[in-house]
Chains A and B, each alone.
Chain A
Amino acid sequence: MTNTVQDIHMSNATQKKKWQAFLIKLGINQFDDQELDVIEQTIGIYDDDQLVATGSIAGNIIKYVGTCAIGEITKGARFNQLMTVLENRMALLGRFHQFVYTKPLYVQSFEHIGFKLLANSNEGALLEKGSPDVQDFLNTIPKAPQGVQKIGSVVVNANPFTVGHRYLIEKAASENNLVYVFVVNQDVSLFRTDERFELVKQGVKDLKNVVVVAGGDYIISYLTFPSYFITNTQQIINYQTTIDARIFKNIIASALAIQTRYVGSEPLSYTTYLYNQTLVRELKPEIKVIIVPRIAQYNQTEIISARKVRQAIADDDFETWSEIVPETTKNFISQHLAELQMRIRKGQKINGN
């Protein structure tokens, strides 16, 4: 009985084929390029020459974990051995915070080695381990003073901040004592995360009961809801939005005593439309979802959207974009127009979210 740990290289077709066959036997059968391209390391545990356990690292995420009971070591012991190797590899890369997506069936195995459940659904569960975790994230957010009664929330990507976002936040601010505005943290949009965050802050500066917060890993991110940024099937979107909504409801909103979430109605983006539907279904009864009709121009014929701003920037159409952004965003775009257009020319997509 010799158990050895070896790297599996995806560039080696034979190794990849054996690895896939092993996982397929265990019921894992999604091997899209989208999933495989992000893998940095894959390790295998071999009993003599036979693959008996494997796992992969992609950023902070551990994926494609599979173990079998062949040989003299129990499945559980092998799983713990595998996870030790993966966590130590990540520690060497300076990553002490791990996420894992798994089937509900395996939640307990991960909890036994220190993972904590973030959200569960029929299709899968998301867990995390290490530091900084969701509790550390919540600790960075200012809490409402005692006695504040009505607390609302808005989540925006604000790519960039428009008068539409302003309208939504203003409405929330007028109906609540305190409003948390979470800005999506994933840095994959035309406007960089620090730019989007700053424009939201400037754009709501006069609203004294609004707190602008970075959404971290836990609100609409590659982790909770990758389809927000990448096109996907309805089934996958449903699953991801459910996870995202449940984390929001059970962890974030409950810690901050949020009672309401405001969202803009969504006639344009199918993904966001599905997201709104999931929010309505999942957040009740504890959290009320208020869908605010989007404001429009030209006798209600054209709704205001950040996408329209981006398209107008690409088209160098000052008239169009300058009309639907507040002064603060307008100043920023004017000062950075050439750079923004350069980013688009270099391939930054502008037709997504």
Chain B
Amino acid sequence: MEIKKTAIAGTLESSDVQIMLTQGTDGIVFDLVSDVVKQFDEAIKKTINQVLSEYDVQNVIVKVVDKGALDMVIKARTVAVVQRALDIVDEPKWEVL
């Protein structure tokens, strides 16, 4: 699926994550800011990648500001931002949730 428009979800508050998706041409490109990047860099990307692949998003720039979000929070925020970026907010993909 192609990203239709730039979208954002989440907040910058503690225990949350802010994710922005923009059209890309070069696979899934991450720009990740986190205080725990050393420990959880791979884990955060893995969770986001999984959601992206369930929506079949292959080319996208993913800008992430993590404030120590737990896995399920990251997943929920990713689902929200993907739905917005694909312009399918009205048609939730239940099997992903």
Q: From residue A65, how far is it (CB to closest CB) to chain B in Å?
A: 13
Interface size on B, as a range, is 10 to 19
Separation of A111 and B63 alpha carbons in the complex (Å): 13
Is the Cβ of A131 less than 8 Å from the Cβ of B35? Answer: no
Are A96 and B12 interface neighbours, CB within 8 A?
A: no
* Binding-face segment, B14-22, B50-58, B69-77, B87-95: B14-22
Q: Which residue of A lies closest to B22 (CB)?
A: A131
- Shortest CB-to-CB span from A340 to chain B, Å, is 37
- Find out whether the CB atom of A131 lies under 8 angstroms from the CB atom of B18: no
Determine the main DSSP class of A at the interface with B: helix
Bitwise, A65-107 to B at CB < 8 A (1) or not (0) is 0000000000001001101100110010000100000000000
Chain A residue contacts of B20, Cβ below 8 A: 96, 130-131
| Residue pair B11, A84 in contact (C-beta under 8 Å) | yes
Give the distance to chain A from B86, nearest Cβ to Cβ, in Å.
Answer: 16
Interface size class for chain A? 10 to 19
Contact flag A80-B67 (CB < 8 Å), given A91-B8, A96-B8, A112-B33: yes
Provide 15 A-B residue pairs closer than 8 Å at the C-beta atoms, listed in order of the A residue.
Answer: A77-B13, A77-B14, A80-B14, A80-B67, A81-B13, A84-B13, A87-B12, A96-B22, A111-B33, A112-B33, A114-B12, A130-B63, A131-B20, A131-B61, A131-B63
Interface residues of A (CB under 8 A from B): 77, 80-81, 83-84, 87-88, 91, 96, 111-114, 130-132
